[in-house]
Amino acid sequence: MKPVKVGLLGLGTVGTGVVRIVEGHQEDLQSQVGSPIVIEKVLVQNKSKTRAINVSSDKLTEDPWEIVNNPEIDVIVEVMGGIETTKSYILEALSRGKHIVTANKDLMALHGPEILAKAQQHGCDVLYEASVAGGIPIIRTLIEGFSSDRITKIMGIVNGTTNYILTKMSQEGADYADVLKEAQALGYAEADPTSDVEGLDAARKMTILSTLGFRANIALDDVDVKGISSVSREDIAYAKRLGYEVKLLGIAERQDDYMSVSVQPTMVKKTHPIASVNGVFNAVYVYGEAVGETMFYGPGAGELPTATSVVADLVAVVKNLKLGVNGKQLGLTYKAKKLKTDEQIASKYYLLLHVDDRAGVLARITQAFAEYEVSLESVVQQPNPNHSEAEIIIITHDASKASVNKVLAAFESMDVVKSVKSVYRVEG
Amino acid sequence: MKPVKVGLLGLGTVGTGVVRIVEGHQEDLQSQVGSPIVIEKVLVQNKSKTRAINVSSDKLTEDPWEIVNNPEIDVIVEVMGGIETTKSYILEALSRGKHIVTANKDLMALHGPEILAKAQQHGCDVLYEASVAGGIPIIRTLIEGFSSDRITKIMGIVNGTTNYILTKMSQEGADYADVLKEAQALGYAEADPTSDVEGLDAARKMTILSTLGFRANIALDDVDVKGISSVSREDIAYAKRLGYEVKLLGIAERQDDYMSVSVQPTMVKKTHPIASVNGVFNAVYVYGEAVGETMFYGPGAGELPTATSVVADLVAVVKNLKLGVNGKQLGLTYKAKKLKTDEQIASKYYLLLHVDDRAGVLARITQAFAEYEVSLESVVQQPNPNHSEAEIIIITHDASKASVNKVLAAFESMDVVKSVKSVYRVEG
C-alpha cells in the first residue's frame, strides 16, 4: 500500500502533538485507512532548535515551498498559525491539488469562504475541526450530525482562558486582575491577553460555528463582541446570589431566517448545563428545532486534544483519497445571510444600578422600563453599605436589545441614576 | 434532479418524526444533497388507522415486501422495531442493493456484525445513529470524531427511563416503586419496565458503543448487567451525604487491549460532569488517551430527537449515493476482542454493611479487606437507630472486582456481618 505523505507546517505545541499521534497511533490509523500515513516534511523556524520530540533532521525544513510545492506531498497540515502568509501557502498548495487540514481559527474566520471556494475549484478537501473547541468534534457534529435539523441557537464557551478566569473569580471570590496575573503565570493566559479577554478569539470561533450551524456565511464583522475585562467580583457575587454564573458566551441565534451572533459575558442560570462548565474546559450548547437541547463538552486546547482533531481530519482526508471523493463536501452554506436588527435581538437582561436613596426613585426607574415596553421579572432595591446610594438589581423578561438601549439612554439623562454598574444578558 | 426514494418501515413515534422532518425540512435537505428526498412507501400494521400526520393512503402498505422488493426504492428506513422478522427484511433489502438506516438498537446489538457484513458484500450502507442516545450524534463521533485517538473509557447514561427514576428518587427522596409507578403514568416507563429497569436496554446500547469505541466486536453477552430495581431510597440518601449521585451507568473500559463492559448502578461524584445529567436526558462521557475527557449530552428518545438522527443518516446515505461511495465505511472494527477477567476489572467500591454492634467487629471487617489486598479510602461506623446493629460505610481505593467478591464471600461466613445492604461501583 502506497503511503499517504503529509507535509506539516509548524512544529509548536499542536504540531508536536500531531507527530506524536501519527507515530504513536500509526497501527490504528493504518487499520482504518488501509495505508501508512507518513509525515514527510516539517516546516520549522529554526532547524537546529532542541525539541520535545525527535524528528529526523532531514525531514525538517525552514523553507515553506519545500512543502507547498512538493509533488510528493498529498496533504498539508497547517498548525503554524498566522494569517496572510499562511493563507498564501494554503492557496498555493490548493492550486497544486493538495488537501488541507488546519487548526487555524483566525484564518478560517477571516478567509474561510475564499479558501473553501479555492478548494472546491481544485477538488481539494479543507478540514478544520481543530479550529474551534480543541478536542470537541463540534464541526463535524454541526455539518453531519445535525444535517437534518434546523439549528436555532448555538451557545459556546469556546475560550478556555476566560472560562478559567471567570471560574476562579466565582470559586474564590477573587478580582479579575489578580486571577489574570495568576493565569498568565500558569501559562493559561498570554502576556498580552487582549485577544482572549476582549472576546476576539471567541468571536472568531463563533464566526465558524454560526456559519456551519446556520448554513450562511457569517463574517467576523457580523459578531457583536464584548470581553470580560469589566466583569467585577461584585458582579459575580450578585449573580451567584441570584442563582447564576457569569460566563463568556458566544451566542448565535436564528429566528425566521434572521441571524445574530455575539460574544459577551452572560449570566447563566445554574441549572443550565453550560453553567457548570468550569476551568479551561470548553462546551458548545446546540439547540435544534427537532432535536432540542444538546451539549458537547471537552478540552478546548492543549497539545494532544487539539492534535486529536487535526489527525481525525487527516484520517477523513485520507479516506476520501481512497474513495476518490475529495473536495465533494456538498452544501455547507446555502442560506442568504440576514442579520437581525437590534429590534429583533431579544433576551432577558440583568442590570445593576446605583441610584439616589430617596423616595420615588424606584418609580421613576421602573417607569423608564415601562415606557420602552421592557417588562420586569424581578426588582430588588437595597441600601449600598458603602455609599449614600441605593442599589437596584433588575432582571427583565425577554426584551429587545434596542429597547434596553433606549432605557439605558434614558438613565443617562436622569439625575437620580448615579451609575449603571452592570448590564448583562441572561440565559437559562 | 432525480429524487431519492425512501421506503419507511414503521409509522409509530419515530416514523412519524421522520415523515415530519423529511417533509418540513425538504428545502434544506435538497440544498445539502442536491436532489429531492421522497418517502415513497410506508409500512404500517393497519392502513385505516387514524394517525397524527397525514400520509396519502396510496403510500401506505401493510405488505413489507412492497417496500423490501420495490425496485424504485433506494433507501430503507427501519423504525418498526423487532428483531428476527425485521432482520429478515433488512437482509433481503441489502441483497437487493438497498441502503439501510435503522434506529433499532436490539437488532444492531444482537446482529450488527452479520448485517454489516451483508451490507459490505452488496456495497450498501447501514447507518444506525438513532439506535443509541436518540438525538446525540455519538456514533459518528466515535467513528469519525475520535478516529485518531485510542478510547479507553466510555461511560453512558443511555437509558432515559432509569435516569428519570433515579433523578426523581434523588430530588424528592422518593421510593423506587413509587417513582416507577409515576413514570409509568407519565409514559416514561413501559407497563412491563423490565428491559429498562434491569439494564437490558442500556446493555444493548453499550454493546454498540463499545464495539465502535474499541473497534472490536463486543457482543451483548459480554456485558455484565445489573439494573436499578434494588436501589433504595437509603442508598441515594447515603450517596448524597458523601457527595455522590447514583446513576445507572454503562461503563466500557480498555487497558492494554483488554476490555470490559458493564451496566450497573454507580455512585458518581457530584463534580463529575455526568453526575448532573438529570431526568430523561442521556449523556455519553468518552475518555481518549490523547483527547482526555469529553461528554456529549442531549435527548435520549422522543419523536423528533430520534428522527433527527435517522434523517441525518439518511442525508449521509444520499450524499454517498451522489458520490458513488456507498458501502465503503472502512475499518470500523479491526481489533481482536480480549475481555478482562474479574482480576483485571478495577474500580473503587462503596459498601454498606449491617453488623453486630460490639467490640472488635470493625477490626474483623477491615481485616477481611486487608486479607484480599483491598485498601480502604474511608470507613464510617455509626449506630443504626432502628436496630441493635451498627452500620459500616466503606469506600475502597481501586480494587479488583475479583478481590471485592472474595471479601464479600468472606462476609458470608462471618456471623458478625448481619447483611451486606449495598455494593456499588464508584466513579469520579
Average predicted confidence (pLDDT) for chain A:
96
One-letter amino acid of A418: K
pLDDT(B386) > 80: no
Pick B4-134+303-323's CATH classification: 3.10.129.10, 3.40.50.720, 3.50.50.60, 1.50.40.10: 3.40.50.720
Angle at alpha carbon of residue B290, lines to B289 and B292, rounded to 5°: 75
Angle at alpha carbon of residue B358, lines to B357 and B360, rounded to 5°: 125
Q: Quick one: angle between helices B105-121 and B84-95, nearest 10?
A: 20
pLDDT in tens, A262-298: 999 999 999 999 999 999 999 999 999 999 999 999 9
Residues of B in contact with A149 (CB under 8 A): 21, 25, 308, 312
pLDDT in tens, B20-55: 999 999 999 999 999 999 999 999 999 999 999 999
CB contact under 8 A, B295 and A290: no
Long-range contacts of B404-411 (CB under 8 A, 24+ apart): B404/B349, B404/B372, B404/B374, B405/B342, B406/B372, B407/B368, B407/B369, B407/B371, B407/B372, B407/B374, B410/B368, B410/B371, B410/B372, B411/B353, B411/B365, B411/B368
Cα dihedral: B28, B32, B36, B42 (round 10): -80
Q: How far apart are CA A18 and CA A373, in angstroms?
A: 55
Element of type H or E holding B171: helix B160-172
CB A291 within 8 A of CB B308: yes
pLDDT in tens, A109-149: 999 999 999 999 999 999 999 999 999 999 999 999 999 99
pLDDT in tens, B191-248: 999 999 999 999 999 999 999 999 999 999 999 999 999 999 999 999 999 999 999 9
With CA atoms as reference, the chain A residue closest to B318 would be: A330
Long-range contacts of B55-63 (CB under 8 A, 24+ apart): B55/B11, B55/B19, B60/B11
Task: Locate CATH 3.40.50.720 in chain A.
Answer: 4-132+303-323
Q: How far apart are CA B166 and CA B264, in angstroms?
A: 13
One-letter amino acid of A136: I
Q: Residue B330: what pLDDT?
A: 65
Tell me the sheet residues that pair with A6: A39, A75
Quote ipTM for the complex: 0.95
Cα end-to-end span (Å), chain B: 53
Q: Give the burial class of B392: count Cβ atoms within 10 A of its Cβ; 0-12 exposed, 13-18 middle, 19 or more buried.
A: buried
Residues of A in contact with B21 (CB under 8 A): 148-149, 290
Residues of A in contact with B335 (CB under 8 A): 31
Domain B138-299 -> CATH class: alpha beta
Q: How far apart are CA A377 and CA A396, in angstroms?
A: 5
Least confident stretch, A350-354, B225-229, B357-361? B357-361
CB B304 within 8 A of CB A298: no
Helix, strand, or coil (residue B366): helix
Closest CA–CA distance from residue B154 to any residue of chain A (Å): 14
Among B20, B308, B310, which would you mutate to test the A interface (most chain A Cβ atoms within 10 Å of its Cβ)? B308
Q: Residue B21: what pLDDT?
A: 98
DSSP letters spanning B278-336? -TTEEEEEEEETTTEEEEEEEE-S-HHHHHHHHHHHHHHHHHHHHHT-TT----S--SP
Over residues A351-380, mean pLDDT: 94
Element of type H or E holding B390: strand B389-396
Which of A109-118, A383-392, B325-334 shows the highest mean pLDDT?
A109-118
pLDDT band of A330, cuts 50, 70, 90: low
Given the residues B168, B205, B247, B401, select the one marked as catalytic.
B205
Kindly give, in sequence order, each residue whose CB lies less than 8 Å from that of residue A85, ignoring residues fewer than 6 positions away: none
Least confident stretch, A96-105, A295-304, B382-391? B382-391
CB B244 within 8 A of CB B275: yes
CB A107 within 8 A of CB A83: yes
Q: How far apart are CA B255 and CA B138, in angstroms?
A: 22
One-letter amino acid of A215: R
- The three three-digit cell numbers of residue B415, written as one number: 456471623
Q: Which of A292, A307, A330 sits opposite B135 (nearest CB)?
A: A292
Output the 3-class SS for chain A: CCCEEEEEECCCHHHHHHHHHHHHCHHHHHHHHCCCEEEEEEECCCCCCCCCCCCCHHHEECCCHHHHCCCCCCEEEECCCCCHHHHHHHHHHHHCCCEEEECCHHHHHHHHHHHHHHHHHCCCCEECHHHCCCCCCHHHHHHHHCCCCCEEEEEEECCHHHHHHHHHHHHHCCCHHHHHHHHHHHCCCCCCCHHHHCCHHHHHHHHHHHHHHHCCCCCHHHEEECCCCCCCHHHHHHHHHCCEEEEEEEEEEEECCEEEEEEEEEEEECCCHHHHCCCCEEEEEEEECCCEEEEEEEECCCHHHHHHHHHHHHHHHHHHHHHCCCCCCCCCCCCCCCECCCCCCEEEEEEEEEEECCCCHHHHHHHHHHHCCCCEEEEEEEECCCCCEEEEEEEECCEEHHHHHHHHHHHHCCCCEEEEEEEEEEEC
Domain A4-132+303-323 -> CATH class: alpha beta
Closest CA–CA distance from residue B39 to any residue of chain A (Å): 15
pLDDT in tens, A80-89: 999 999 999 9
**Residue (of A271, A269, A222) closest to A245 by Cα position:** A269
pLDDT in tens, B248-303: 999 999 999 999 999 999 999 999 999 999 999 999 999 999 999 999 999 999 99
Q: Which of B141, B292, B335 sits opposite A137 (nearest CB)?
A: B141
Given the residues A105, A168, A205, A418, select the one marked as catalytic.
A205
Helix, strand, or coil (residue B391): strand
Percent of chain B scoring above 70 in pLDDT: 99
Angle at alpha carbon of residue A367, lines to A351 and A233, rounded to 5°: 15
With CA atoms as reference, the chain A residue closest to B316 would be: A144
pLDDT in tens, A177-233: 999 999 999 999 999 999 999 999 999 999 999 999 999 999 999 999 999 999 999
Q: Residue A384: what pLDDT?
A: 79
Q: Which of A31, A308, A334 sits opposite B288 (nearest CB)?
A: A308
- The three three-digit cell numbers of residue A33, written as one number: 485507512
Fold topology of B346-427: Alpha-Beta Plaits (3.30.70)
Over residues B385-407, mean pLDDT: 92
Determine whether A153 is an active site residue.
Answer: no
b/e map of B104-137 (b: 16 or more CB within 10 Å)? Answer: bbbbbbbbbeebbebbbebebbbbbbbbbbbbbb
Helix, strand, or coil (residue B216): coil
Least confident stretch, A90-99, A403-412, B330-339, B403-412? B330-339
Q: How far apart are CA B57 and CA B371, in angstroms?
A: 72
Over residues A97-104, mean pLDDT: 98
CB contact under 8 A, A330 and B32: yes
pLDDT(A160) > 90: yes
Closest CA–CA distance from residue B376 to any residue of chain A (Å): 30
Q: What number of residues does chain A have? A: 428
Q: Residue A1: what pLDDT?
A: 77
Residues of A in contact with B282 (CB under 8 A): none
pLDDT band of B331, cuts 50, 70, 90: low
Residues of A in contact with B132 (CB under 8 A): none
Q: How far apart are CA B207 and CA B214, in angstroms?
A: 11
- The three three-digit cell numbers of residue B281, written as one number: 436526558
Tell me the sheet residues that pair with A225: A263
pLDDT in tens, A31-67: 999 999 999 999 999 999 999 999 999 999 999 999 9
Q: What is the DSSP letter of B339?
A: B
Q: Residue B314: what pLDDT?
A: 98
CB B37 within 8 A of CB B3: yes
CB contact under 8 A, B140 and A135: no
Q: What is the DSSP letter of B340?
A: P
pLDDT(A390) > 70: yes
Q: How far apart are CA B274 and CA A96, in angstroms?
A: 47
Q: Which of A289, A297, A308 sits opposite B146 (nearest CB)?
A: A308
Task: Locate CATH 3.30.70.260 in chain B.
Answer: 346-427
A vs B, Cβ pairs < 8 A, gives 201
Task: Locate CATH 3.30.360.10 in chain B.
Answer: 138-299
Over residues A395-407, mean pLDDT: 97
pLDDT in tens, A7-19: 999 999 999 999 9
CB A135 within 8 A of CB A305: yes
Q: How far apart are CA A29 and CA A137, in angstroms?
A: 18
Q: Residue B358: what pLDDT?
A: 87
Q: Residue B279: what pLDDT?
A: 96
Find cell 448615579 and name the residue: A418
Q: How far apart are CA B48 and CA B57, in angstroms?
A: 9
